[in-house]
Structure 1
Amino acid sequence: METTKVQRYKRIISGTLCCMLLLVLVAGLETFMLLFKEPSTNKTVSNASATQQLWKPPPATSIPGGEKGNSIVYGQSLIRETAHFLGPKGSVLQISNGMNCQNCHLQAGTKPFGNNYSLVATSYPKFRARSNGVETLYKRISDCFERSLNGKAPDSTSKEMVAIKDYIEWVGSQVPPKEKPLGSGITSLPFLTRAADPAKGSKVYKQQCKSCHGSNGEGVKDDDGIAFIYPPLWGGESYNDAAGLYRLSKFAGYVKYNMPYGTDFNAPVLKDEEAWDLAAFVNSQPRPHKDQSADWKDIKQKPIDFPFGPYADNLTEEQHKFGPFKKNHQ
């Protein structure tokens, strides 16, 4: 009887040890696989920055009542439907090219990584190297009208300008000073080790962009011809060559997490190289020109991908437009 008990205990102990050994082996194998796993070339933001909270715009319920609230709501409408109010057939003024502000600032400036307004409320007034001076938010809005909308800015005292300012400030009102939340603005992609290639970008455009923006980048207008459903990417009705998106780094970062239409940071469609090449193709096409002789008076402050000289280095305009940038400007 005692012998039988001893044998039973031995079997139990032996089985327990075998299970423990198996668990150790499995854990070791998983660790080995993680160490030698091939890194992903198309990480999502949620995987790469799981510990940082993604920025969200304030809820509509936080819009105050009264005159200020009415101004914010009107400003939101102006951002969403700029062309209906301020385009070539605008009901208030005719001062812009027919695009809407939210064609570039997606979801009325509230989409994560969609060129949103999250940082504006705590950033302005601020010094900007492009103008070599301290700029107010009114100046920043004026630049958008004159560059991205290729038009004229509303008067700074106008109901429309004040409303746009009030709305933009409200969008970023819950971001603490000096904080940069995940999802603010536009993502920054790593520089390529080669020049961005318009020919390769043309192929990407045909595969991913042509169905919405047209064979000639002309976009698609609504039935009444007042505004664009899909904005023009080049041509006379598109942004001019002084707009921020004319810089390849801005365009590439913008399309990475937003295009084709419906894309977001959780499931990017374009590889980094495709985003850069697409930027090179689109920004090689004809578009309105704006005099920029007053910009970047301190040429040492020019961004590496600003495509107009003079420069503080010996690179050509073509190199500054298409790269490669990596060896020259980390």
Structure 2
Amino acid sequence: MKQDEKLFKEARITLTILKLLLLLLVGLFPISKFYIFISENWPEKIENLENIPPYEPIKKLASAPSSKRMHRADNEELIKYGEELIRNTAYYIGFKGTEKQITNGLNCQNCHLDGGQKPWGNNYLSVAANYPQIRKRSGKETDVYGRINGCLQRSLNGLPMDSTEKEMKAMAAYILWLGQDVTKGKKAAGSKVYPIEFLDRAADPIAGKSIYESKCTSCHQSNGKGFLAADGRSFVYPPLWGSLSYNDGAGLYRLSKFAGYVKMNMPFGVSHENPQLTDEEAWDLAAYVDSMPRPEKDKTNDWPNLADKPIDHPFGPFADPFSENQHKYGPFKPIKYWYENQKTIQ
């Protein structure tokens, strides 16, 4: 009896092993067929490898310090007032300002979005690390106060303030606080304006007008005058041309600056993560807006070294043979190549 039980047990073990082997074979069969198929169809070499675009990781852009850190600063109240001035400049120093009446009614954050904090929104994050500096536009050393006055006199078409005035001290304190995490001499990723590439053609104001009419009039109106706030002190949406807009000495009067700015920020609400304008649309829109009338700035002393003038600075004289019209609307690549060739010759 015990012998029979032993034989029966061995038979069960053998049967179990056979079942496992059968299952293994059934599972391996399709895998082996797949391997044979891949082996037979695998190319000997990969064609057009050079046409495969390289992987480009999304670069992390710098961000402003958390507002929670502001209370650690010894001059906390001054910094807070500075932020308020940047966000609501016109209320305090606009044409109906409560403290002064020295600007056109625009707010600093109309050009420096989100209080000068937005990535590719012409933010202030690199200012503290790079000022004072010798600016090519003036040919002189400029500190943060001088930088602010440049905006007041050009973008806000107004009057400068003295470095001892409370409003100037506050604005400078806030701008310097924003850049506290940037290493001296370095530039924060995503600061200033997005460096949009030059087109192969000239920017087209006529095409830009169509873009403006379809994407911009709901905020800035068809006449470019924007919408004045109910208090009559500032604008809900700023004027893009006319007597209350930025003058022709402002940075945004250069097409590359305007195009890079709107590419990453307009229509209002978009960001570098979801741009809506193509490069061509951004350039053409810039050409249209900057072809419209606006206040004139005395630029006599700008760019003392002619070779330092930006390619898209539209006022002569120039160190190159190209016309004012081409310096304003392009095409800019021939001008760029001309200067590069001059450096090679030298």
1:209-240 CA distance string (max 9 Å, x none): 01100111000011121100000000000000
Q: What is the TM-score of this pair, normalised by structure 1?
A: 0.89
Distance between the aligned counterparts of 1:293 and 1:25, measured in 2? Answer: 75
The corresponding residue for 2:30 is 15
Distance between the aligned counterparts of 1:27 and 1:241, measured in 2? Answer: 63
1:29-70 CA distance string (max 9 Å, x none): xx9899867x8xxxxxxx9542x3221110111114576111
2:310 paired with 1:303: yes
2:237 paired with 1:230: yes
Structure 2 CA distance for partners of 1:230 and 1:307, relative to 1, 3 Å: same
Distance between the aligned counterparts of 1:49 and 1:322, measured in 2? Answer: 33
Structure 1 residue 21, shift from structure 2 partner: 5.9
2:325 to 303, 318, 327: 318
Structure 1 residue 120, shift from structure 2 partner: 0.4
1:237-266 CA distance string (max 9 Å, x none): 000000000000000000001000101111
Structure 1 residue 270, shift from structure 2 partner: 0.4
CA contact (8 A) 2:130 2:186 kept: no
CA contact (8 A) 2:151 2:250 kept: yes
Q: Which amino acid aligns with 1:16?
A: I
CA contact (8 A) 1:193 1:327 kept: no
2:86 to 64, 75, 79: 79
The corresponding residue for 2:342 is none
- Residues 169-318 of structure 1 correspond to what in structure 2 (within 5 A)? 169-318=176-325
2:122 paired with 1:115: yes
Distance between the aligned counterparts of 1:251 and 1:181, measured in 2? Answer: 20
Distance between the aligned counterparts of 2:39 and 2:285, measured in 1? Answer: 49
The corresponding residue for 1:156 is 163
Structure 2 CA distance for partners of 1:19 and 1:222, relative to 1, 3 Å: same
CA contact (8 A) 1:53 1:181 kept: no
Unaligned 5+ runs, structure 2: 1-14, 338-346
**Matched residue SS, 2:141:** strand
Structure 2 CA distance for partners of 1:317 and 1:67, relative to 1, 3 Å: same
Identity level (%): 47
Structure 2 CA distance for partners of 1:27 and 1:121, relative to 1, 3 Å: farther
Distance between the aligned counterparts of 1:27 and 1:186, measured in 2? Answer: 48
Distance between the aligned counterparts of 2:42 and 2:268, measured in 1? Answer: 42
Count residues in correspondence: 319
Structure 2 CA distance for partners of 1:235 and 1:14, relative to 1, 3 Å: same
Q: Which amino acid aligns with 1:232?
A: P
Distance between the aligned counterparts of 2:72 and 2:20, measured in 1? Answer: 81
The corresponding residue for 2:9 is none
CA contact (8 A) 2:202 2:330 kept: yes
Distance between the aligned counterparts of 1:199 and 1:264, measured in 2? Answer: 26
Structure 1 residue 24, shift from structure 2 partner: 8.4
Structure 2 CA distance for partners of 1:147 and 1:18, relative to 1, 3 Å: same
Structure 1 residue 327, shift from structure 2 partner: 2.4
The corresponding residue for 1:42 is none
CA contact (8 A) 1:147 1:290 kept: yes
CA contact (8 A) 2:322 2:335 kept: no
CA contact (8 A) 1:194 1:324 kept: yes
Structure 1 residue 14, shift from structure 2 partner: 2.9
**Matched residue SS, 1:329:** helix
Which entry has the higher C-alpha Rg, 1 or 2? 2
Structure 1 residue 182, shift from structure 2 partner: 2.5
Structure 2 CA distance for partners of 1:23 and 1:266, relative to 1, 3 Å: farther
CA contact (8 A) 1:109 1:116 kept: yes
The corresponding residue for 1:135 is 142
Q: What is the TM-score of this pair, normalised by structure 2?
A: 0.85
Structure 2 CA distance for partners of 1:10 and 1:150, relative to 1, 3 Å: same
Higher relative contact order (CA 8 A, sep 6+): 1
Distance between the aligned counterparts of 2:161 and 2:333, measured in 1? Answer: 40
Distance between the aligned counterparts of 1:301 and 1:177, measured in 2? Answer: 24
Distance between the aligned counterparts of 1:90 and 1:289, measured in 2? Answer: 23
